[in-house]
Amino acid sequence: MKEPQPDRHQNIAMIAGVALFLAAIAAGVTWWRVSFDTDQPPQIISPEPPETTDAIEKTVNIYWVDEADNQLVWVPNPVTLTVSASQPDTVLAAAFDRLLSGPQEANQYSEIPPGTQLLNVTATEAGAIAIDLSTEFTTGGGSASMIGRLGQVVYTATSLDPLAPVRISVNGLPLEVLGGEGLEIPQPITRQQFEQDFR
């Protein structure tokens, strides 16, 4: 009499059970190594910082020139600019960009030569203002024109702080004399000194 042969389906089930058992052991070992492996630092995912904007609106006076009783006068023109609150120099830079682009209205006049560019502007913690202009600032016009443009720069630069001293340079060099007639420029210059020397 023959021994009964084991059922083929039983063999497959037993092999599958052993395979599942071994896979579970392998997965457990892998989990254990990843969780407790001290050689690899834990991965830290930092959230992206939220986008912030620090734009603010600031009103400054830009100064144009006019004539009254045969004398030059400087006329303030308030302009509201959108600038960066974290970079205070941008207020003055935006004001000078507007000034150097020339008058926007028919009754506004400028003695600053066309093509004059702002090369740099900085405001120090002590309150002093440094303005660096391109060479065009020194070209053309007589003494009245030179005084007119100097006043525009001084008054516009001190729009936020009328007591601030201003240092003016051209292409990085201190402006000591302006124009062919030799208009001497004190450095630094304040509004008070400008009015005392040139008005």
Question: What is the tens place of the pLDDT at every residue in 86-97?
Answer: 666 788 999 999
Question: What is the tens place of the pLDDT at every residue in 167-186?
Answer: 999 999 999 999 877 789 99
Domain count of the fold of the chain: 1
Q: Which of 91, 104, 108 is nearest to 156 (CA)?
A: 91
**Above 90 in pLDDT, residue 137?**
yes
Residue 171 lies in a domain: yes
Q: Is the pTM of this model over 0.85?
A: no
Q: What is the pLDDT of residue 181?
A: 72
DSSP state of 198: H
Backbone angles phi, psi at 108, to 5 degrees: -105, 140
Residue 189 lies in a domain: yes
Q: What is the pLDDT of residue 120?
A: 95
Which parts of the chain fold into alpha helices (H)? 8-36, 89-100, 143-157, 191-198
Residue 8 lies in a domain: no
Residues of the domain holding 104: 54-196
**Above 70 in pLDDT, residue 22?**
no
Question: What is the tens place of the pLDDT at every residue in 29-64?
Answer: 555 455 555 555 544 444 454 455 677 888 899 999
